[in-house]
């Protein structure tokens, strides 16, 4: 099973089937859960536009981050440390911590306390590896800033539902855009318009429609695969299990930091 890290060929040679977040695996285990379409129905939290409705002490930064893996494969924490030089970020996790996590709130409830953005950066940048944090943000009703696989097609309800970190030349450029959206409600709502229109991309619906979930996903899919496979007649074909070559090089995020010197 793949767990946010590149799978190596030597490891895969010991197995016949792959249970992974990769959509090409025999059994797929996306981090989304079974109620993925609920991200469309959840409203934008009122505290986004009126901080007095927040349960948190003021001031509240425009950006929220909660993470416990402070030595990620892609060095996301290095980028975020630089980003903090240009825009306030409230960090409640172990990494770059500057706020104490409130005991009376869940993570999703915390997202709804007036934050406009959440840094949904993955630990590594591999194909189809999009963890639960992105969908928690969408469910909370705010905008995720994402950094993960090269292609998010079909994984987001709308192409504008997220802000793509690698679409900006440096942390400073990203911060400038986020600050602009912090002071422009109309521009900010462009990224949440799919909630107002109740319309999502067709590829998103196809990827997560319920009949696929029941047939191929999670442990039910694993049980179905084993039950339908005649193991006595099964011929092992190890070439079907290939190592993950989709991941960006380790610490590739540092290339964005080098650009900051030119800005």
Buried b (16+ CB within 10 A) or exposed e, 161-187: bbbebbebebbbbbbeebeebbeeeee
Taken in order of first residue, the domains within the chain and their CATH numbers are: 31-207+252-257 (3.40.50.11660)
Sign of the dihedral defined by the CA atoms of residues 169, 170, 172, 177, in that order:
positive
Measured CA to CA, the distance from residue 32 to residue 37 in angstroms comes to: 10
Considering only CA atoms, give the Rg of the chain: 20
Closest-CA residue to 28 (of 227, 220, 213, 217): 217
| pLDDT confidence of residue 229 | 65
Closest-CA residue to 250 (of 104, 72, 91): 72
| pLDDT confidence of residue 160 | 96
Which ranges of the chain have pLDDT less than 50?
1-4, 34, 210-215, 239, 262-263
Burial of 132 (0-12, 13-18, 19+ CB in 10 A): middle
| pLDDT confidence of residue 3 | 47
| pLDDT confidence of residue 257 | 74
Task: Give the E-state strand segments of 117-261 in sequence order.
Answer: 117-121, 143-147, 163-164
| pLDDT confidence of residue 101 | 97
| pLDDT confidence of residue 22 | 61
| pLDDT confidence of residue 224 | 64
């Amino acid at each position: 099973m793949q767990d946010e890290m590149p799978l190596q060929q030597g490891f895969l040679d010991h197995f016949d089937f792959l249970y992974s977040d990769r959509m090409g695996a025999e059994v797929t285990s996306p981090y989304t859960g079974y109620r993925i379409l609920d991200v469309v129905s959840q409203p934008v939290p009122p505290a986004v536009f009126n901080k007095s409705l927040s349960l948190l002490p003021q001031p509240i930064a425009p950006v929220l981050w909660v993470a416990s893996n402070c030595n990620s494969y892609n060095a996301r924490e290095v980028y975020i440390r630089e980003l903090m030089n240009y825009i306030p970020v409230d960090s409640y996790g172990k990494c770059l911590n500057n706020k104490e996590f409130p005991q009376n709130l869940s993570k999703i409830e915390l997202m709804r306390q007036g934050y406009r953005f959440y840094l949904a950066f993955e630990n590594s940048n591999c194909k189809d590896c999009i963890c639960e944090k992105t969908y928690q943000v969408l469910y909370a009703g705010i905008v995720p800033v994402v950094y993960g696989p090269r292609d998010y097609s079909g994984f987001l309800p709308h192409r504008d539902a997220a802000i793509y970190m690698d679409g900006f030349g440096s942390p400073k450029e990203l911060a400038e855009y986020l600050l602009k959206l912090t002071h422009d409600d109309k521009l900010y709502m462009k990224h949440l318009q799919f909630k107002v229109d109740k319309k999502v991309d067709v590829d998103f619906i196809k990827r997560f429609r319920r009949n696929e979930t029941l047939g191929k996903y999670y442990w039910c899919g694993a049980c179905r695969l084993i039950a339908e496979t005649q193991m006595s007649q099964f011929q092992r074909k190890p070439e079907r299990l290939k190592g993950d070559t989709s991941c960006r090089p380790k610490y590739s995020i540092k290339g964005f930091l080098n650009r900051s010197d030119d800005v």
